[in-house]
A and B are shown apart, each in its own frame.
Chain A
Amino acid sequence: MTDTTEKAASGAGVGAAPAVPAPAPAPRPARLWRGVTPWLFLIAPLALLVTFTYAPIVNMVAYSFTDWDGVSPELHYTGVENYTELFTRDDLFRVFFVSGYYLAASVVQIVAALYFATILSFQVRFRNFFKGVLFFPYLINGVAIGFVFLYFFQDGGTLDSVLSLFGHHSDHAWLGTPVSANVSLAGVSVWRYMGLNFVLFLGAIQSIPGELYEAAELDGANRWRQFRHIIAPGIKPVLTLTVILSVSGSLSAFEIPYIMTGGATGTETFVIQTLNLAFRFNKTGLASAAAIVLLLIILLVTWLQRRLVPDDKVDLV
């Protein structure tokens, strides 16, 4: 804070220097002008917001009740047919189960991130090295990650070679059956996203005042107790944020499965299916309904989180 204030103080000289003599404005236009000013700043942002966020949502709701193919001028109102189709057709509904793998993976991911954030917030040798290594995957291009792991899971690829070092000779097609393919892909997403959770937790733990640990240590609390009574409550807001991000991330998993398997062998996720419906099979109406369902689920999860854990700083203003 003080840092900013100091800079602000030095900035004042700069800002105040070109002192334009104030014209004495007529009161009425001046007031009008003042009312318009904030809108001049907001025109562009609001126009973009409405065009690329709200207009699509409204359109999507409208499309979802039609049989539109996305191209032809002809479209028919079909009522809730798209929605019933989504929930009754087995092949369409199946993608929800795939999300289960990613949900399970996010539990692993959060636990691992919590563990590493806790141990790396205490004195450890090569701390910065480990921090960097754990976080770096999050910054890597998704396509590159996809290729790295395609090679990793290949027949006789990295994983098989490592296993054979330990005397386990197998030529396993890791992406060959639905279960092992989904587990492998979910593993990749843990590899990719664990670093983000880790850094968020680390930041939160470090914002806990150090005296608390000292006091606890004096009281004879061990590491586990310190974690349980100081760290866990201290990072609760970040923890809940991570949980929502993970749930919505699991439901909207796309890049890794699309790049690695293209949705083959039972790895199709909700988003891949929606994109295929919309852009490959020209079923814009059905795809819109699917997207609305996903959106509603994610909003529901967020709402639940807000209800269960009242956050003290959700307001922008």
Chain B
Amino acid sequence: MTRRAVARTLVYLSLVLAAAVVLLPLGVVLLTSLKSEGEMADGSGALTLPGDLFNLHNYVTAFQDGGMLAAFGHTAFILVFAIGGTVLIGSMTAYAIDRFTFRLKRLVVALFLIAALVPGVTTQVATFQIVNSFGMFDSLWAPIVLYMGTDIVSIYIFLQFVRSIPVSLDESARLDGANAFTIYRKIIFPLLRPAIATVVIVKGITVYNDFYIPFLYMPSEDLGVISTSLFRFRGPYGAHWETISAGAILVILPTLVVFLSLQRFIYNGFTRGATR
């Protein structure tokens, strides 16, 4: 009994410790974002409470001077097109691969599979030249096409789902005279709803958080997405940690809201996405 009790205590102790390790850095940044410039300068250390817990001054500065409104706008624009494109492309690919037999099918499948092994970071040197030659460099379209490009994870998720839709449905529709496009549009696509939800969530979080692609392809000051706009805080606000903290919290907040409201789907999405 006592040994069990000790073991249980240790388990809880480790959990509390881990939670503290996760929450402490975030909590301190939240506190810092509420402090005034004077409080930052008085050398009272990072762990002290701000004098006024509702001092939102830094948030106003970060939001206005950091161009966060435009940044959220750009991110939303990219999200809509990139996710829409990913859903269409992923579901079409999955439908074609699962429901048809055609020559070169094995080759096509292999092309998608091998592409899954190539990490995007390694090919940007040359991808850059291609994007540039299309005249998409420094425009919102560069990240959009790159995100749509080859999202193998979403193709895989769709494939799993298409496979679980009975072929007899296609056949009976075909007997009624529906062609492949009607079947895709009226039967397959609506039945893919759970998979679409998964892809929208997983892809949405990835795109919202991505830094690399917008940083590389949209260097213009007025084309910031939230990651790159936040990154630019480093220059002008250099040592103003209260403003930088407010910016970071502004960026984290939407993620937290989405996470808390969609928890279960998010866990499932990542489990399904990564364990190919």
Is chain B found bound to chain A in the same assembly?
yes
List the interface of chain A (C-beta within 8 A of B).
1, 4-5, 7-8, 11-12, 14-16, 18-23, 35, 37-42, 44-46, 48-57, 59-60, 63, 70, 112, 115-116, 119-120, 124-125, 128-144, 147-149, 151-152, 154, 156-158, 160-162, 164-165, 191, 196, 199-200, 202-204, 237-238, 241, 245, 248, 252, 254-255, 259, 271, 274-275, 278-279, 284, 287-288, 291-292, 294-295, 298-299, 302, 316-317
CA gap between A4 and B183 in the complex, in Å: 17
Q: B126, A5: Cβ atoms under 8 Å?
A: no
What 6 pairs across the A-B complex have the smallest Cβ distances?
A22-B177, A203-B271, A41-B96, A56-B126, A38-B100, A15-B187
| Chain A residues with CB below 8 A from B244, complex form | 147, 151
Q: Which of B126, B155, B230 contacts A63 (CB 8 A)?
A: B126
What are 8 pairs between A and B in contact, CB < 8 Å? A20-B176, A38-B105, A53-B149, A63-B126, A130-B15, A141-B227, A151-B244, A196-B274
B127 interface hit (Cβ, 8 Å): yes
Q: A130, B252: Cβ atoms under 8 Å?
A: no
Residue total for B at the interface (Cβ-Cβ under 8 A): 111
CA gap between A191 and B24 in the complex, in Å: 12
Q: B129, A54: Cβ atoms under 8 Å?
A: no
Q: B259, A139: Cβ atoms under 8 Å?
A: yes
CA gap between A41 and B247 in the complex, in Å: 43
List the interface of chain B (C-beta within 8 A of A).
11-12, 14-15, 18-19, 21-26, 28-29, 32, 43, 45-47, 88-90, 92-93, 95-98, 100, 102, 105, 108-109, 111-113, 115, 117-119, 121-130, 145-146, 148-150, 155-156, 159, 161, 164-166, 169, 172-173, 175-178, 180, 182-184, 186-187, 190-191, 205, 208-209, 211-212, 216, 226-228, 230-231, 233-234, 241, 244-245, 247-249, 251-252, 255-256, 259-260, 263, 266-268, 270-271, 274-276
Q: What's the nearest-Cβ distance from chain B to residue A62, in Å?
A: 9
CA gap between A237 and B274 in the complex, in Å: 12
Q: B180, A37: Cβ atoms under 8 Å?
A: yes
Q: A200, B270: Cβ atoms under 8 Å?
A: yes
| Chain A residues with CB below 8 A from B23, complex form | 133
**Known A140-B255, A161-B45: A23·B177 in contact at CB below 8 Å:** yes
| Chain A residues with CB below 8 A from B241, complex form | 151, 154
Interface of A, helix, strand, loop or mixed by DSSP: helix
Q: What's the nearest-Cβ distance from chain A to residue B143, in Å?
A: 12
